[in-house]
Structure 1
């Protein structure tokens, strides 16, 4: 495999790196503090900076280095088969507002790109949700009808640009794809020009709400702000227990060059075969970069992710002759149990704390949408979508209850069962026989211990108890990370936090005592 593929760095991050900024030190003040620098955080910061507010962005790692830097970069209002679900759960009016808001976000990217002169490889393409098996046709016919009723230019078709026959597909016209980090680089440049401040390597570990709010970072630096936006993908400081309304999934991604003649001329997704999502991006030599996503799994369940990458490569090579994976990465998404994202004021906090989460894999339009909604609320305006995404909504409890209860059952199952499996007899395997590159959870001194052997044979040992709510982590053998199955926190092999909602690292253990 190409060495680039082993780095885990996405094509977007490799080809359009964002500028670096120093960590925050001392005490700072701002009108608005934004925690997180993905597309939600930077879109919100830009909207507010353009409105004349003093904005500071605080990023635990590097700008857009989380979910946004590992997306596929689709800008579309067709979200697999969401409209028939929305129509049945929330009614036709909710489906219409969802379609209108997502379409408005797409237009916002087009407008902002033009206004700021951002070259982000924006291309207008149709979007498809397809199936290969006849059993899926009726559902897609219903989705095409629901999407059309919601106001999209949608149709049911049986022919696509994919290099294999399909049984049916929903097609929506005039959607878009772009280079997400090139777009955000343009926003960052303008935020700085407008007086905004950005700080990387600054993890916020405490939020005291009030007027002003007070943020404390892992270094002891502080920020006092009249408004705070929690844009951390999975919300931290979750007094409202929004995590109980979210489920996690992770997708593998591969990318490599193909001739322009193999471009399927659209954006495609299917839930068959463990999900398959396809798009292309222009390359300087006139060819196209084929981006293939799939092999969805719940983080922290011990899936063989290397085998998942192998299946994804085999699928791409079979359908696109000559394809070779030059890059590989993974993306994590969360979904709300009632289908709609959560965007607006944070329940249980004051009126000046805001949150955005639950985009179900469609965070490019969702993130831009969140920026416009939150910016309007911060400025004292109305929610332009009349509370459709309000995190404090009551929703449709009867229709949403099965998904909510299943999410809680899965969390409880892992919290109890994983401990019994691990602590009962240590059947996950002794650390001494662990091969290089692998990891396992064992019992050590009566406590669950996460052990990894690196390629040089050295053992790394940390507590296996997630510092968020105490579930046990499991090893991801492709990314070499520890992942929590309950709420999706991810840690490095030495325990450092890679992805929240956890704020503290896993405690280190002495590998010589195993």
Structure 2
């Protein structure tokens, strides 16, 4: 199954508003924020509101990447996180995590009301559920841990879902909303406050100092006292966070259902590769849009046809539980998991005095990004909220993190070595079928070759421009993906998602079918990730 490339994120249908100019020449600011997703925009807005001169740089359009492809559940109930945080970090840390995440939920409600942003915000309960009786004790423990952390959580065996569950954790006072409506409203207010936003501006270099200097791919510069790197996956990694981050990709399908099938909550189970459920308004009071997420996998590891099969499984699951469903939207989202389940928000590295980072939200980027904006704005202003040390990226807890780090690096080493092994690729360009892609060894070089539906070839270097892993083709989304750190590129080599900041180099190949040299057309320079800056 090849997914219709014209279907996409529900949120991306919203008018993006006026384009902001790319940065030219030299600029100065008190704070420069790299990345225009939820964490970057919230940080920039909080600082501008506090009176700071802020410039925000985004490689594509603001709120179009991960933020534009989220499911936009706004909750402090993050699966089974509280029992794990309590076990790894202690009871106080679990309380700080709960308080900071719930404050983020309330912050969106407060700000949207204050600024008059109509972002389809709906307050409702959140559930983490199981259909497996063998997992009930674990969910009881999670409910106890969340309650101990200060949240009004409870265990229940009944939910509003139209199918039975064995047990669930219920948390009142959570929300769902339209992320782009909220963030574009925030961006407009940021500019009203004097902040500057530059789109189509890819940052490629950071020099720390007094001031710090950012340099873009077009040679423009920004000098700033403070820099915030909010690029989803850090494009500058001087504390080796890539050894402690694991990228995961999830698929999303959506379609209209009768309003009486709306369960009136946000739901998650970690079973079956994860299943997440919410709804959204359609403009018709008799219909709601059912949004289902799941089928988690590591980018760059899917076999041919696997992504399409995963979409099909997700659709079958939705129809089995909610009845007939005409899927009108398909998209995918990506996030990074830390080795101890807590995001990295704070100093970029141990010696950093003026450079901060936000990453590792583990699929909860809405509350995490809003929390990060408030935390980083406070840090820049010389304040330290009670949860500063909990999220500090330079923390390292060997008993918990070292085994996970070794596992991640073993996976990376496997791709560095194994993906270059003879026989791991197509033997010739002629083997690449229309609509497909493969890595082909040509004259000692590894080329990533895609043949479009019309038979034309698109060839680029198969080595990721981040750290050199060999990319793999995702035929469900028609993109090249790096299995090491999650960078993604379109078939012409353009960066779709970081940490890579440079496109894959174009290559020329001979098509044995017609004896003609084929090469890509012109490459774009933008990115498809809000924060892949």
TM superposition score normalised by structure 2: 0.93
Q: CA deviation at 1:429?
A: 4.8
Q: CA deviation at 1:391?
A: 0.8
Between the two proteins, the alignment pairs up a number of residues equal to 508
> Which residue pairs with 1:55 in the alignment?
54
Contact 1:248 1:334 in 2 (8 A): yes
Contact 1:89 1:400 in 2 (8 A): no
Contact 1:158 1:168 in 2 (8 A): yes
> Which residue pairs with 1:337 in the alignment?
339
> Which residue pairs with 1:116 in the alignment?
115
Q: Does 1:299 align with 2:285?
A: no
Q: CA deviation at 1:349?
A: 5.2
- Partners of 1:371 and 1:410 in 2: CA distance: 32
> Which residue pairs with 2:284 in the alignment?
285
Contact 2:471 2:482 in 1 (8 A): yes
Once the two structures are superposed, the pairs formed by residues 152-163 of structure 1 within 5 Å of their partners are 152-163=151-162
Gaps of 5+ in 2: 513-533
Deviates more, 1:424-433 or 1:211-220: 424-433
Contact 2:279 2:291 in 1 (8 A): yes
> Which residue pairs with 1:103 in the alignment?
102
Contact 2:473 2:480 in 1 (8 A): yes
Structure 2 counterpart of 1:317, from 314, 319, 322: 319
- Partners of 1:427 and 1:21 in 2: CA distance: 42
Q: Does 1:213 align with 2:215?
A: no
SS in 2 for 1:83: helix
Contact 2:59 2:201 in 1 (8 A): yes
- Partners of 1:342 and 1:184 in 2: CA distance: 22
- Partners of 1:349 and 1:452 in 2: CA distance: 44
TM superposition score normalised by structure 1: 0.96
Deviation string, structure 1 residues 410-442 (Cα, Å, up to 9, x no partner): 11111111111xxx1355453213221111112
Give the structure, 1 or 2, with the largest relative contact order (CA under 8 Å, sep 6 or more).
2
Q: CA RMSD, aligned part only?
A: 1.5
Structure 2 counterpart of 1:370, from 369, 372, 396: 372
SS in 2 for 1:130: strand
Distance 1:112 1:380, change over 3 A: same
- Partners of 2:255 and 2:298 in 1: CA distance: 25
- Partners of 1:164 and 1:305 in 2: CA distance: 27
Once the two structures are superposed, the pairs formed by residues 76-155 of structure 1 within 5 Å of their partners are 76-155=75-154
Q: Does 1:351 align with 2:349?
A: no
> Which residue pairs with 1:408 in the alignment?
409
- Partners of 2:484 and 2:407 in 1: CA distance: 12
Q: CA deviation at 1:115?
A: 0.8
- Partners of 2:169 and 2:338 in 1: CA distance: 23
Contact 2:7 2:328 in 1 (8 A): no
Deviates more, 1:425-434 or 1:112-121: 425-434
- Partners of 1:385 and 1:84 in 2: CA distance: 18
Deviation string, structure 1 residues 141-197 (Cα, Å, up to 9, x no partner): 111111111111111111111111111111111111111111001101101111111
- Partners of 1:436 and 1:163 in 2: CA distance: 42
> Which residue pairs with 2:527 in the alignment?
none
Deviation above 2 Å: which 4+ runs of structure 1? 5-9, 15-19, 399-402, 425-431
SS in 1 for 2:71: coil
Q: CA deviation at 1:15?
A: 2.5
> Which residue pairs with 1:326 in the alignment?
328
- Partners of 1:208 and 1:82 in 2: CA distance: 36
SS in 2 for 1:512: strand
